[in-house]
Amino acid sequence: MSPDPGAQPAPTATTELPAVPHGGHGQHHRPEANPTGRKLAVLTLTALGVVYGDIGTSPLYSIKECFGPEFGLTPTVSNVYGVLSLIVWSLALVVSVKYVLFILRADNKGEGGVYALLALLLQRQNRNPEKKRRALLVALGLFGGAFLYGDGIITPAISVLGAVEGLGVITPTLSRFVIPIAFVIIAALFALQSKGTAKVGGAFGWIMLAWFVSIALLGIAEVVRHPEIVKALNPWYAVRFYVEHPARSFVVLGAVVLVITGGEALYADMGHFGRKPIRLAWFAFVLPCLLLNYFGQGALLLRMPEAIANPFYLLAPESLRVPLLVIATLAAIVASQALISGAFSLTQQAILLGYVPRLQIVHTSSEQAGQIYIPEVNKALAVGTLVLVVTFRSAAALAATYGVAVTATMAITTILFSLIARQRFGWSRWQTRLFLYGFLTIDLVFFAANLLKVPHGGWVPLAVAALVFLLMTTWKRGRAILQELLQRGTVPMDMFLADVARKQPPRVPGTAVFMTSTNDGAPVVLLHHLKHNKVLHERVILLSVRAAEVPDVDEEETLEVEELGHGFYRVVATYGFMETPDVPQVMKFLHSRGIRARTAETSYYLGRERLIPSGKMAMARWRKKLFVFMSRNARSATEFFNIPPNRVVELGTQIEF
């Protein structure tokens, strides 16, 4: 049977050996818990380029969308102060308090993101399993991850379009070139993904540093002219805005949410930098720069209401608009890269957790484990993003698609964190409920406001999320059914070994490694081999590769070996969901521990199933066909586990399910 990287075999009595040295791409580097001095400065600067690209480019279009013609708001003093107050307190409550102060505490061995949070919860559920509760948590986590793929196609489109639309401000006659230029930039960005970002990644922090300094200076220049604008810090203006415009204020939340769309990415990227640099960058630099620019745009609208056409670019003097266009475009590219890299990382986690078929994972850096490229995901994101660009054709139109997925993921994160806080942090019931009800109310209000966008494009991320969720659940369910069928064909290991001792089949020199997704019983591929070839190797290794619900596995837990007798060994190699399995590394370690397995004398036996959907009711027939399609297009186990292809023997079997 072809091993399933997401399978969770039942535990066996084993002898633990020192860990297999991961090395190379298998190693996952954790950030230092409490960096100081120069290291803290470097991490903080780098975090600017990765963590804050999405939220940092929101000033390009957020204020403009809040006063869009569909809302019917004019830039009066009351309205401007009210909208700015909503923006300020959304950033304060959702990003500063919820994500930076609370959510960042919920790390899975240093790793963040909705899948890491889900895996952390499932560790607890495995100790006290409740099927319904576990299924609900899995569904929430999968939906949260699926929604982020919708963001992965929207963010590059809206960020790049928002930046390039500055051409129309500089010279209106250039407006017709906005779509072609944005299309070329995005296409080039996706085309260059296979080269990796290691070489240019160091520049991302400096680009975003220049960006934040630029938008802060632009804002300061206008705030100095209208210093009263800082009154919007008072939440009373948001309350008064709601009282004066109860219906419109609710609808406007669908645009206000654009200023907090990077909150989830902030949490997902924690594993690269750790809490301290992310918190320092936010409170000491990013938040002040964003507020200054938003206040500056608000002050500009009070002085010059017609600036609503593009308040961001009109903040700048005419002589500085071309340089601003250049740096805005670079910042948009950085923001897009962060979301694309995040989608790659999310997919890698899902593969190892068993929710996505094996895909090609290319490591683009020999030094950083997180630098990966997944061609299939890259193509899907590229097509989706480019289709959005040519279909919606402006950042304003794309704003109608943005927000539904983000707010849904935020609500899911709030729920999952509340469970973690109760179980892991020992919060009392009232503390947990205060957090849950308080922030879930905010999340759901934003989500409800964004649901109004569904007919105008908000259906796009919902459709993407539904498709991704369907694919993930189909794959997981299909693998479970298939494994159950194959398990029925296995023979208890003690019975098999007794038969070997009785019949004493011929033994040939060398080592045979049988890859299996279970660690009990004789795998089907071994039975087929003995049945047809009627020989066994001197040494037979039954190797299972399984994924743990942690980002990386401690060294002492990586490899387990059990000697079964008669030259048979059972080996279980455990990897975290941020690590890449490497079978040759496992074999080198076994060799150093006395299990002689020379590369030239080792053969790897894999099973390849030919699946035939039947009328059985374990899963709907159309989903079975979808599973078969996914299985046929999955990457081979040989490539995924880095097994030497010239040492592989595949044995096929036909399975009706």
- Average pLDDT, integer, range 529-550: 86
Quickly list DSSP for 512-568.
EEEE-S-SSSB-HHHHHHHHHH--EEEEEEEEEEEE-SSSS--GGGSEEEEEEETTE
Q: Which amino acid is at 171?
A: T
Distance CA 234, CA 248 (A): 20
Residue 22 pLDDT: 42
Q: pLDDT band at residue 647, thresholds of 50, 70 and 90?
A: confident
Tell me: pLDDT of 96 over 80.
Answer: yes
Between residues 144 and 379, which one has the greater pLDDT?
A: 379
Establish how many alpha carbons lie within 13 A of residue 239's alpha carbon, considering only the half-sphere containing its beta carbon.
Answer: 4
Tell me: pLDDT of 105 over 90.
Answer: no
Compute φ and ψ for 360, nearest 5 degrees: -70, 120
Distance CA 296, CA 309 (A): 15
Tell me: pLDDT of 102 over 90.
Answer: yes
Closest to 522 measured CA to CA, from 479, 573, 564: 564
Average per-residue pLDDT in the chain?
Answer: 84
Residue 239 pLDDT: 94
Distance CA 657, CA 645 (A): 29
% of the chain surpassing 70 pLDDT: 90
Q: Please tell me the least confidently modeled range out of 22-26, 271-275, 379-383, 622-626.
A: 22-26
Residue 18 pLDDT: 35
Beta bridge partners of 651: 607
Residue 138 pLDDT: 84
Give me the long-range contacts of 500-505 (CB less than 8 A, separation at least 24).
500/536, 500/566, 501/566, 505/530, 505/534, 505/535, 505/536
Q: pLDDT band at residue 200, thresholds of 50, 70 and 90?
A: low
CATH 1.20.1740.10 domain extents, the chain: 51-450
Distance CA 496, CA 429 (A): 53
- Residue 179 to residues 157, 168, 467: CA-CA distances in angstroms? 10, 11, 28
Between residues 145 and 300, which one has the greater pLDDT?
A: 300
Between residues 32 and 542, which one has the greater pLDDT?
A: 542
Which residues, other chains included, contact 437 with Cβ-Cβ below 8 Å and sequence gap of 6+? none
585 by DSSP, 3-state: which?
helix
- Average pLDDT, integer, range 216-233: 95
Closest to 278 measured CA to CA, from 266, 268, 289, 290: 266
- Are the C-beta atoms of 549 and 557 separated by less than 8 Å? no
Q: Please tell me the least confidently modeled range out of 10-19, 33-42, 361-370, 639-648.
A: 10-19
Distance CA 214, CA 316 (A): 10
CATH architecture of 51-450: Up-down Bundle (1.20)
- Residue 308 to residues 80, 161, 453, 610: CA-CA distances in angstroms? 11, 17, 21, 61
Residue 243 pLDDT: 92
Residue 29 pLDDT: 53
